[in-house]
Every structure is written in structure tokens, then in C-alpha cells.
């Protein structure tokens, strides 16, 4: 399918944000207000049912057979029902000469919700289509944002996507707003959640979204890298390292890499970030990258209404990395669970459990903030 194109090389991100601030009633606030009114007039009573999802207990009630954090993490990947959706693809041309691809859910209308995926994620990620479908059914217009190089085609520049690329999100939001399609809400998973929270903290009240939600965020990137080297969590690291290495080889299959690296000697996420992520993206090393991009440093400055869904037993990080209410800004609500694993949060009382806390909370939180 040929992708539509929207060029951003004529304006810098700062200029785009400046334009939107100078004409808020034309591009940003007014269009969003119109979307809200149109949604409120057209939604059916069934859409109101989603609001009850936020009024019901926010604590996860996992089935007895799905208490383990590893089962919560792995079960949806292998057994969760994936709905059939049709997408309209669009390519956004960035000011630096690179591009980012979007996938819009066909025939969905309403306020726009932008989804950001996790490390090596895409539309095949187990959470992507189910949550996109749920949002569409709730009266929103979901759009999936592929981070640089994740849409199946290597990005043009040698730089890659990473956990702190808030400038990419800023440019996408500004381009969409400038084209008369302001994003109402953003929803980030894992790495995408960290990126989203960092963006919200950097831009504060000037952020170009009205509401946000982040799920299973690696708030302290350095600790997350260490956690993946421990115990059963090494299984996830091995899986991710295989994916990352394949992506690196695919990216530089036809163009020479600007760095010299022996992939056979890279076995941990820290080693990958030290030898590949950091030098390709202008960081002094993995530790510098982790320090600059960990969202924990930006939570205090978030003013946009934001819901953080996280599990204390997430096998990708330590319990002590979970922020407290004292560590977050006035716009942040915490929905911390005892169980749920990493982007799991499966509910239900029988082996065929289909309910997911994410599906319940996301549309409810967004609707409450319409």
C-alpha cells in the first residue's frame, strides 16, 4: 500500500510548536474541542459503559493460575485473541530527512489517540491490535506510531529509535496538529511509555496532547538493563537481543555502518546500548544514555492528566524503581498493581480468560478527560 506523505522539512520542531502556540484556537485547542463535541453528540450508550471501567476497582484480579509475573508476561503473547483490523498507512517526512510511519485504524472516528510501542515492537505486538480495537469501539480514532525503523523498512539515517527520543514524538504531534489533526491522547507501552513520559515532562503544559497513559515503563533504564541480566528475566533479554541484532543487520545490509562492532560479542542489553545505541544516537555511552533518557527524572514536571499502569512484579525491572505519588507531577495518577507482569494485566476466573486491565482503563481514562 502506498503511503500518504506529510512533509516537515520546511519547519523545525521548535517552529512547528511555535506556530501551534501562536494560533492555538485554529490548530490545537479549537480542533480538539470540536472533536470532543462531535464525539459527545454521536456516541451511543454503549460507549458510556467504558467509563465504568475506571469506576470499577483499579486493582488487577488475576486468575489463580495466572499469578506468576512470567505467566502474565508470556500468556498474552501466545494466547491473547488478536482482532482483525484494517489500516491506512501514512508516512511523515521529518525535518532531518528521515521518516516515521503511522497506521490509522480504518473507519474509526473520534478524538485521535496515538499509540507508541515498546522495544522492537510493531503491530504484531500482542497488545497493539487488541487495544487499538478497544479504543475504536469506545469512539476514538486510534493511530499506531512506528518508531524509526520499526515499520518494516529501515530508516534513512544511521541513528535509531531509542527510549528517550522525545523529539521524534514532538515532531509527529506538531506535524499532525499543523495538518488539522491534533492528537487528543497518547498511549505508550514499555520503551514507548518511557519516551512518552519524558516528552510530557520536557514540555509540561505545552505538550501537544490533552491526556496520556503509560504502561509497564522502565522508569530507570540502567536498573532495567541490570534486571534483565538476573534469573528468569534473562529469557527476555535473550529474546530482545536476538531481535535487536537482526534489526541492526537489516538496517545496515545495504549501507555501511558508521561504527565497528562485533555482534557475536554482545550478549546483554547494556553491551548493546554501550556499543550501538549510544554511539549511533550521540550519547557518550550506555550510562550516559540511561541517565539522560530515564523518565524517572521527568515525572515531577508532568502536568497533563496522565495515568501510569505498572506492576510491582514486572520482571523487566525492580519494585523499588516504581515511582511514588511524591515523585510525580500534579497531572499523574498511579495505578500500581501487585501482579501483572510486563504488559500483561490479564484478568478472569477461568483458563480462557480474555479480559485485560489495559483494555478497561485506557478508554475509561481518556473518556473521563474528554
Question: What's the pLDDT tens digit per position in 71-115?
Answer: 999 999 998 889 999 999 999 999 999 999 999 999 999 999 999
Query: Has residue 283 been placed in a domain?
Result: no
Query: Has residue 253 been placed in a domain?
Result: no
Which residues belong to the active site?
A: 190, 314, 342
Is-contact 346 126, C-beta < 8 A?
A: no
Each residue's pLDDT tens digit, 294-323: 999 999 999 999 999 999 999 999 999 999
For residue 30, the tally of other CB atoms under 10 A from its CB is 13
pLDDT band at 64 (very low <50, low <70, confident <90, very high): confident
Query: Has residue 137 been placed in a domain?
Result: yes
For residue 267, the tally of other CB atoms under 10 A from its CB is 14
Taking alpha carbons only, the member of 15, 327, 331 closest to residue 204 is 331
Query: Has residue 162 been placed in a domain?
Result: yes
Cell of 81: 485473541
Query: Has residue 172 been placed in a domain?
Result: yes
Long-range CB pairs of 265-274, under 8 A, 24+ apart, other chains included: 266/241, 267/241, 268/225, 268/228, 268/229, 268/237, 268/241, 269/224, 269/225, 269/228, 269/229, 269/237, 269/240, 269/241, 270/222, 270/225, 270/226, 270/229, 272/241, 272/244, 272/245, 273/225
CATH number for position 123? 3.40.50.1820
Does pTM surpass 0.85?
A: yes
- B/e letters for 38-57, b = 16+ CB within 10 Å, e = fewer, are ebeeebeeebeebbebbeee
- Find the domain containing 159 and state its range: 4-220+294-368
The rounded mean pLDDT for the chain is 88
Query: Has residue 287 been placed in a domain?
Result: no
Is-contact 362 187, C-beta < 8 A?
A: yes
Given CA atoms 341, 343, 348, 351 in this order, what sign does their dihedral have? negative
Each residue's pLDDT tens digit, 224-247: 999 999 999 999 999 999 999 999
Please report the pLDDT score of residue 354 as a whole number: 67
Number of domains in the chain: 1
Amino acid at each position: 500500500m502506498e503511503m500518504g506523505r506529510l512533509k516537515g522539512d520546511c519547519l523545525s520542531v521548535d517552529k512547528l510548536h511555535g506556530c501551534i502556540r501562536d494560533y492555538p484556537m485554529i490548530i490545537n485547542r479549537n480542533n480538539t474541542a470540536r472533536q470532543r463535541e462531535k464525539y459527545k453528540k454521536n456516541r451511543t450508550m454503549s460507549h458510556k459503559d467504558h467509563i465504568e471501567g475506571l469506576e470499577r476497582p483499579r486493582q488487577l484480579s488475576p486468575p489463580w493460575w495466572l499469578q506468576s509475573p512470567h505467566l502474565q508476561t508470556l500468556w498474552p503473547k501466545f494466547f491473547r485473541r488478536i482482532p482483525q483490523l484494517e489500516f491506512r498507512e501514512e508516512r511523515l517526512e521529518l525535518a532531518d530527512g528521515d521518516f516515521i510511519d503511522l497506521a490509522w485504524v480504518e473507519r474509526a472516528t473520534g478524538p485521535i489517540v496515538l499509540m507508541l510501542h515498546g522495544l522492537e515492537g510493531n503491530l504484531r505486538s500482542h497488545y497493539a491490535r487488541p487495544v487499538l480495537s478497544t479504543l475504536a469501539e469506545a469512539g476514538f480514532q486510534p493511530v499506531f506510531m512506528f518508531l524509526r525503523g520499526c515499520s518494516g523498512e529501515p530508516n534513512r539515517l544511521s541513528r535509531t529509535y531509542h527510549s528517550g527520543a522525545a523529539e521524534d514524538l514532538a515532531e509527529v504531534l506538531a506535524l499532525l496538529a499543523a495538518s488539522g489533526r491534533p492528537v487528543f491522547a497518547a498511549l505508550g507501552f514499555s520503551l514507548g511509555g518511557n519516551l512518552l513520559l519524558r516528552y510530557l515532562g520536557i514540555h509540561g503544559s505545552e505538550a501537544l496532547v490533552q491526556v496520556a497513559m503509560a504502561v509497564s515503563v522502565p522508569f530507570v533504564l540502567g536498573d532495567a538493563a541490570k534486571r534483565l541480566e538476573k534469573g528468569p528475566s534473562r529469557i527476555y533479554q535473550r529474546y530482545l537481543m536476538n531481535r535487536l541484532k537482526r534489526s541492526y543487520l537489516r538496517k545496515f545490509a545495504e549501507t555501511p555502518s558508521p561504527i565497528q562492532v562485533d555482534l557475536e560479542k554482545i550478549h546483554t542489553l547494556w553491551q548493546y546500548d554501550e556499543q550501538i545505541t549510544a554511539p549511533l544516537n550521540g550519547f557518550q555511552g550506555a550510562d550516559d544514555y540511561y541517565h539522560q533518557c530515564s523518565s524517572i527524572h521527568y515525572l515531577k514536571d508532568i502536568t497533563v492528566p496522565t495515568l501510569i499502569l505498572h506492576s510491582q512484579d514486572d520482571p523487566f525491572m525492580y519494585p523499588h524503581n516504581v515511582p511514588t505519588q511524591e515523585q510525580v507531577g500534579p497531572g499523574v495518577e498511579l495505578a500500581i498493581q501487585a501482579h501483572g507482569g510486563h504488559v500483561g494485566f490479564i484478568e478472569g476466573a477461568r483458563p480462557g480468560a480474555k479480559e485485560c486491565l489495559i483494555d478497561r482503563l485506557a478508554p475509561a481514562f481518556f473518556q473521563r478527560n474528554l
